[in-house]
Chain A
Amino acid sequence: MNSPPRPDPLSRALADWRLTPPRNPQFRTAVWARLDAARSAPTWTGYLRAHGALVAGALMAAMVLGAWSGHARAHERDTAARAALVADYVHGLDARWMRLP
């Protein structure tokens, strides 16, 4: 004859477990405060409207900086390529360079 299964101690512990969190009387008020704060946060378009001059200035400065550095870098690139080409050209006609290993 089989004896009845012994109850699992973990199941018994889980069955007996009761959680009683402390009551927070400010909970509801805090939730509403956070909702209100999120609702009143400015949108990006609102932010742009509020800081229009600053954003336009920063955008203009960034574009001028980008254009200037792009132009300077292109000039540098062309100067270096041209210098290498001229050096190749002259050295190709210079017997003193030809004999170098």
Chain B
Amino acid sequence: MKNLLLTFAIVMAACALSFGVFYAASGAPAEVRRAARERDAMAWMRLEFKLDDAQFAAIKRLHEDYRDVCAGHCAAIMAAERRQAPPAEVAALEKTCVEAMTTHFKRVAALMPPGQGGRYLAIVLPRIADFDHRGAPNVQVRP
């Protein structure tokens, strides 16, 4: 009985060790994991879509410019809601926001290396629809 228990303990230890080694060594590269942990979207984009320095700088500039556009949309939607504008007006402002965002993502994709732009759009465009079901955002990243 003692021998059986000792053997069982060793088998379990081997299982745990194997789990630990594969858990630590598998998955995304360490830099990508670090970017994800620190919620650094720009660092993640650079690694995920293999951007060189020029592409990264151009995309960063595009994002910074778009933030002003986005802030303008946000202010317009909030102002319309504050003055209790008709739902159609709010919907029209939201539509403008979605169109501007889609155009922005396509511009970003165009600056990426061949093949990566399509992958980027396949990841980000479905996220725009997340807003339609606020309670349960989609957590699956397909491509």
Chain A residues close to B by CB (< 8 Å): 42-44, 47-48, 51, 55, 58-59, 62-71, 73-75, 77-100
Contact = CB atoms under 8 A, between A and B. Distances in A.
Given A42-B3, A70-B26, A99-B81, A90 B127 contact: yes
Question: Interface residues of B: mostly helix, strand, loop or mixed?
Answer: helix
B131 A96 contact: yes
Question: Interface residues of A: mostly helix, strand, loop or mixed?
Answer: helix
Contact of A85 (B14, B24, B39): B39
Contact of A83 (B17, B74, B140): B140
Interface of B: 2-4, 6-7, 10-12, 14-28, 32-33, 35-37, 39, 41, 44-45, 63, 66-67, 70-74, 76-78, 81, 94, 97-98, 101, 104, 123-124, 127-128, 130-131, 134, 137-141
Nearest to B104: A93
A78 B23 CA distance: 11
A64 B2 CA distance: 25
25 contacts: A43-B3, A44-B6, A63-B15, A64-B18, A65-B15, A66-B20, A67-B19, A71-B22, A71-B23, A71-B26, A74-B25, A78-B27, A81-B36, A82-B32, A85-B35, A85-B36, A85-B39, A88-B41, A90-B127, A92-B41, A95-B73, A96-B97, A96-B131, A97-B131, A99-B77
Contact of A78 (B17, B28, B70, B134): B28
